[in-house]
């Protein structure tokens, strides 16, 4: 089954939220997590239901005003977990990985002395369409590092990269910590709110991908992070 990048990201976030609360979800809760309208969340859940990835059910509301009225909620099917596992697995194009990696590093070198704003905008615009788990993770990582680079002179953000290194970046532990760092960036006053909102919306799929990657592909990502940091910081 083929999903668009937007559908896959939505499903991944839905699964994350379901695992947190361990109960069927109302579409308004999903909308709040994703920062989309209730109508958008409802329509997407219905679309995923048609594809057998979620199922709906009606439950009665609790006590108080409106008690006894039914409300529609959604839960994932076993097929949803299986599909995401396949999409985040080891089916990746080595030639495409090499090409994107080389092009990204060359673009970073060409932009030295700038704040990389244009490149950051490009990465965030194309991330939802990335089909390859490896490329998605690599560009998500690059976007976070570039966001940090833009704030290198901001006192409230100055220690974030040091903290990330202390957690093990560019090693595997550091890769896992990147999602949490994105949340930390949201509290920096000078951050571009639109861009950080996009980054936050992409962390669900990033974490899902990272949990599924083999040790070898995590090593490839770690090496890539080291190269990106070297270019950006020197």
Return the percentage of the chain with pLDDT > 90, whole number: 14
CATH number at residue 76: 1.10.10.10
Residue of 218, 133, 126 whose CA lies nearest to 168: 218
In a shared domain, residues 147 and 178: yes
Last residue of a domain, one of 87, 114, 147: 87
Determine contact, residues 33/58, Cβ cutoff 8 Å: no
Mean pLDDT of 130-151: 83
Domain residues for 194? 94-233
In a shared domain, residues 143 and 220: yes
- Both structure tokens of 135: 């490329």
With a CB cutoff of 8 Å and minimum separation 6, the contacts of 3 are: 11, 51, 83, 87
pLDDT band at 121 (very low <50, low <70, confident <90, very high): confident
Most confident of 8-22, 42-56, 216-230: 42-56
pLDDT band at 18 (very low <50, low <70, confident <90, very high): confident
In a shared domain, residues 83 and 122: no
Q: 152 versus 133: which is more confidently predicted?
A: 133
Residue 191 has phi, psi (to 5 degrees) of -70, 145
In a shared domain, residues 60 and 168: no
Residue 91 has phi, psi (to 5 degrees) of -85, 90
Q: Please count the structural domains in the chain.
A: 2
- Both structure tokens of 54: 């979620």
């Amino acid at each position: 089954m083929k999903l668009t990048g937007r559908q896959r990201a939505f499903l991944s976030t839905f699964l994350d939220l379901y695992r947190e609360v361990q109960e069927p979800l109302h579409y308004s809760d999903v909308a709040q997590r994703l920062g989309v309208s209730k109508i958008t969340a409802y329509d997407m859940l219905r679309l995923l239901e048609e594809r057998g990835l979620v199922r709906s059910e009606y439950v009665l509301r609790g006590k108080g005003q409106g008690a006894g009225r039914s409300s529609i909620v959604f839960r994932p099917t076993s097929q949803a977990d299986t599909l995401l596992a396949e999409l985040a697995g080891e089916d990746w194009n080595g030639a495409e990985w090499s090409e994107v990696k080389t092009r990204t590093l060359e673009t970073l070198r060409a932009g030295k002395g700038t704040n990389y704003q244009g490149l950051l905008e490009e990465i965030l615009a194309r991330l939802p369409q990335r089909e390859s788990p490896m490329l998605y993770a690599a560009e998500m990582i690059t976007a976070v590092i570039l966001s940090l680079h833009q704030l290198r002179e901001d006192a409230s953000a100055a220690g974030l990269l040091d903290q990330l290194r202390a957690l093990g970046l560019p090693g595997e532990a550091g890769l896992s910590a990147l999602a949490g760092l994105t949340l930390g960036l949201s509290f920096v006053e000078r951050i571009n709110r639109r861009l950080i909102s996009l980054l936050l919306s992409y962390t669900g799929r990033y974490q899902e991908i990272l949990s599924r990657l083999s040790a070898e592909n995590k090593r490839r990502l770690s090496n890539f992070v080291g190269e990106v940091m070297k270019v950006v910081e020197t």
